[in-house]
Amino acid sequence: MSSKSLQSFPSSTRSYIAANVRSRREAKNLSQEKLGELAEFHRTYVSQLERCKANISIDGLERIARILGVDTAELLQPPA
């Protein structure tokens, strides 16, 4: 894999996570603050995730998925 394609991959994955977390959070009528509290993250971290400004660990992604009631893999898929 070329370095150019490696540079674009994380950005695309972050954008999928961001869009999926936001849409599922809103569908559950959760604020960023409430999602952060439930997942043991600060509200600003949730905001950064939803704006593609932060990376998330697998453990963190699993916590968010559990709270949102979805499989972790769903958060990595292109948004519907």
pLDDT in tens, 41-60: 999 999 999 999 999 999 99
Structural domain contains residue 55: yes
Its pTM stands at 0.84
Average pLDDT of the chain to the nearest whole number: 90
Find the CATH number of the domain harbouring 29.
1.10.260.40
- Residue 18 CA to residue 12 CA, distance in Å, equals 10
pLDDT digits (tens, 9 = 90+) for 59-79: 999 999 999 999 999 999 999
Rounded CA-CA distance 30/9 in Å is: 29
Q: Looking at the domain assignment, is residue 33 inside a domain?
A: yes
Domain count, the chain: 1
Q: Is residue 76 part of a domain?
A: no
Kindly state the average pLDDT of the residues 15-40.
97
In order, the DSSP letters of 11-75 are HHHHHHHHHHHHHHHHHTT--HHHHHHHHT--HHHHHHHHTT-S---HHHHHHHHHHHTS-GGGG
Please state, as a whole number, how many other Cβ atoms lie within 10 Å of the Cβ of residue 3: 6
